[in-house]
Chain A
Amino acid sequence: MTFTPEMAKVGDILPPLSFGPITRTKLALYAGASGDHNPIHIDTDFAKKAGLQDVFAHGMLSMAQLGRVATDWAGIDRLRGLSSRFTALTPVGATVTCEGRIAEKFEQDGAPMLRIALTATIDDGTQTLRGEALISAA
């Protein structure tokens, strides 16, 4: 850790994180671990019937990586919010690269806060998630 939340400046880059390649086994395990049993992520026959070529990864598996980028750097006790928009599907076999950047410093109820812009990108350059974390900088 080269800089702390107290001293962070807008534009500072958090240590990135890479996750994958995401296998079918990983999707089966995530379905079990999360309780999200939607067959579109684990059953190829179901995915094909729905007009897709294959199953695709749970968006929440990638969002968990955005959370790790924020908490690996700041620690979970500082995390006040985490949000994400799922902008593209993550195919089986993809490796997800997650990055964070200090987007804003602001005050909330008199306490210093950081807004961290987060992104997840897969091997071919497609951005799959765009989110943010709210971190206490007190």
Chain B
Amino acid sequence: MGLFDRSSVGHESAPISVVVERGPIAFFAETIGETNPIHSDTEAARSAGYPDVMAPPTYPVVLEMAAAKEGERKEQTPILELIAADMRYLLHGTENYEYLGSIFAGDTVEVVSRVKGFSDAKGGQLEIAHLEMEIRHADRGVLAITHRDLIHRLSAKVTS
């Protein structure tokens, strides 16, 4: 028996506004070992022709997490709760980013999350949730599209 709530298929979250911040980008960049100063030093970013420090390639996931938290404060059900993700058995299957524009500190972006569908694998030992997130800017349009597969390892389910 699967754990995901498959009735959530087709759900699209209300857009959530997130302010992209300089300090958190720099902290993230340092944590992942990123050494290019355009991700941590405003002067270096400006010298390179950017308006401010630029988000590294995997930063969309950070903005999506921030949007989920902000949504929770506004009493929106977070997508992980909506699909009934069980953190004990949850694995990250795939992550796919399509970049349509750069994201900079100071941007206000909107994040929308969608539940695209569910599938099964390995004879029912795994079940997979297919999610899609869009990060868009009021003037510059869609900046990034994320496709993410989350997996429940049902074979590891412990009885408690």
Main secondary structure of the interface of B (DSSP, over half): mixed
* Residues of chain A lying within 8 A (CB to CB) of residue B140: none
A86 and B32 contact, Cβ closer than 8 Å, known pairs A60-B61, A70-B57: no
Binding stretch for chain A, among B2-10, B94-102, B111-119, B131-139:
B94-102
Interface of chain B residues 24 through 70 with chain A (CB within 8 A): 24, 27-28, 30-34, 36, 38, 54, 56-58, 61-62, 65-66, 69
A59 lies within 8 A of B98 (CB) = no
Per the 8 Å Cβ criterion, residues 13-61 of A in contact with B are: 19, 26, 29-30, 32-36, 38-40, 46, 49-51, 58-61
Residues of chain B with a CB closer than 8 A to A80's CB: 98-99
Number of chain B residues close to chain A: CB under 8 A: 36
> In the complex, what's the smallest C-beta–C-beta distance from A105 to chain B, in angstroms?
19
**In the complex, A50→B152 CA distance in Å?**
12
Does A65 contact B33, Cβ atoms closer than 8 Å? yes
Interface residues of B (CB under 8 A from A): 24, 27-28, 30-34, 36, 38, 54, 56-58, 61-62, 65-66, 69, 87-99, 102, 156, 158, 160
